Structure 1
Amino acid sequence: MNPDAADDKTRKLDARDIDGEPFDQIMSALDSLPEDGTLVLINSFEPEPLYSVLERRGYTYMTSQAADDEWRVTITTA
């Protein structure tokens, strides 16, 4: 899947644009995903603390580093 592709079930959230702690906005974006939806999270660092939260909530994810200061986490509902 191309993370830049947009469709009805794919959402993108660039955490670099969020002032302060982005956790609540990430959780809101996940809660609003449609069934079988995907969230592409863009961040300036690898959000390792988020992984355990995703796993506990039943999400799967795949992380890639697009640039030195750009990480993409593709999160899908299980």
Structure 2
Amino acid sequence: MPTGPTADGTRELDVRTIDGEPFGEIMAALDELDGGETLVLVNSFEPEPLYAVLARQGYAHETERAGDEWRVSITKA
């Protein structure tokens, strides 16, 4: 489950703690976003297959890598 929004409208979902396929949790977290909020997805690898799904559903993303941690910031396009 994602954290609640911070003062800047950011929610975080660390999928490294999810046992099994995290796709359903990611999509549920995106459905909970209010206008102007950002979901930051934290993962141990770059979730490249997710990018096409996000684009089809009207989301934009920015990806950063810090060591072995990937952070994908997702917003409504």
TM-score of the aligned structures, taking structure 2 as reference length: 0.88
- How far the C-alpha of 1:46 sits from its partner, in A, is 0.1
| Structure 2 residue 70 is matched with structure 1 residue 71 | yes
Q: Secondary structure at the match of 1:55?
A: helix
TM-score of the aligned structures, taking structure 1 as reference length: 0.87
Aligned length: 73
Structure 1: 5+ residue stretches without partners: none
- How far the C-alpha of 1:66 sits from its partner, in A, is 1.1
Structure 2: 5+ residue stretches without partners: none
Q: Secondary structure at the match of 2:45?
A: coil
Q: Runs of 4+ in structure 1 displaced over 4 angstroms?
A: none
**Identity level (%):** 63
**Please, what is the CA RMSD of the aligned residues?**
1.5
Give the Cα separation in 2 of the matches to 1:36 and 1:77.
Answer: 8
Show the counterpart of 1:51: 51
Q: Is the 8 A contact 1:16 1:44 kept in 2?
A: yes
